[in-house]
């Protein structure tokens, strides 16, 4: 399936935007979940990465997926790109007169993203195993983060951080696998 898709991309003159989207998602997810797991503090480093690579790069990849008529990629990358931008707005709360997010509202916010991701995971059952791992672990991550907010459990929040690292690393692997496999025109990195 991968090489068939690659041939179609080359014939259309549009490069595969999926590696960029996956890389933006994966690197930003790893960075944020280093915080969630307790290794680093929440700083401008995470905010900047979320805005640029997690947000802008994924939105760009999603728009390119629309051009390719790839409904799954267009929906996933565009939605998760705007997820990062919305999360940044929640963190910095630049709107005067609007209350900051409380744990219950964050729980519902993350719970809705869990629901969306669970449906997207169902869509990955028609994709490669690497994509299934990304979306399966992301569904679990959003569930754990929602539960951590609803319960106030730091242990669940830390566990979510480790799941998020697995998720982010799997997305980076998927991105690099697509790039390397395309360059060598064979399955160097199994997906």
User: Using one digit for the tens of pLDDT, what is the confidence trace for 89-104?
Assistant: 999 998 889 999 999 9
CB 112 within 8 Å of CB 145: no
Residue 138: predicted pLDDT: 98
The neighbour count for residue 181, using CB atoms within 10 Å, is 18
CB-based contacts of 5: which residues, under 8 Å, 6+ apart? 16
For 116-172, write each residue's pLDDT tens digit: 999 999 999 999 999 999 999 999 999 999 999 999 999 999 999 999 999 999 999
Task: Give CA–CA dist 63/2, Å, rounded.
Answer: 21
Across 33-58, average pLDDT: 97
Q: Predicted confidence band at 188 (pLDDT cuts at 50, 70, 90)?
A: confident
Confidence at residue 14, expressed as pLDDT on a 0 to 100 scale: 84
* Longest distance between any two alpha carbons in the chain, whole Å: 56
| C-alpha–C-alpha distance, residues 177 and 191, integer Å | 7
42: left (phi over 0), alpha (psi -120 to 50) or beta: beta
Tabulate helix, strand, coil % of the chain (nearest 5): 80, 0, 20
Instruction: Note the pLDDT of residue 7.
Output: 40
Is pLDDT at 10 greater than 70 in this prediction? no
CA distance 48 to 92: 12
- Specify the pLDDT at position 149: 98
Mean pLDDT of the chain: 93
Q: Once rounded to an integer, what is the mean pLDDT over residues 167-187? A: 95
Say whether 42 sits in a helix, a strand or coil. coil
Q: Is 11 exposed, middle or buried (0-12, 13-18, 19+ CB in 10 A)?
A: exposed
Q: What is the mean pLDDT of residues 45-74?
A: 96
């Amino acid at each position: 399936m991968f090489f068939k898709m690659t041939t179609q991309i080359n014939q259309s003159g549009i490069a595969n935007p999926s590696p960029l989207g996956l890389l933006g998602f994966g690197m930003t997810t790893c960075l944020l979940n280093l915080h969630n797991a307790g290794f680093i503090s929440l700083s401008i480093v995470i905010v900047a990465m979320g805005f640029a690579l997690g947000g802008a790069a994924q939105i760009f990849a999603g728009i390119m997926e629309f051009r390719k008529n790839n409904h799954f990629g267009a929906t996933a990358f565009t939605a998760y790109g705007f997820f990062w931008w919305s999360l940044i707005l929640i963190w910095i709360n630049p709107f005067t007169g609007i209350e900051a997010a409380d744990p219950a509202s964050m729980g519902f916010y993350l719970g809705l993203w869990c629901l969306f991701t669970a449906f997207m995971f169902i869509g990955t059952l028609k994709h490669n195993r690497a994509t299934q791992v990304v979306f399966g672990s992301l569904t679990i991550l959003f569930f754990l983060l929602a539960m951590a907010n609803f319960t106030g459990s730091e242990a669940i929040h830390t566990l979510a951080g480790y799941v998020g690292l697995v998720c982010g690393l799997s997305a980076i692997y998927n991105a690099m696998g697509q790039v390397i496999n395309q360059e060598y025109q064979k399955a160097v990195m199994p997906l």
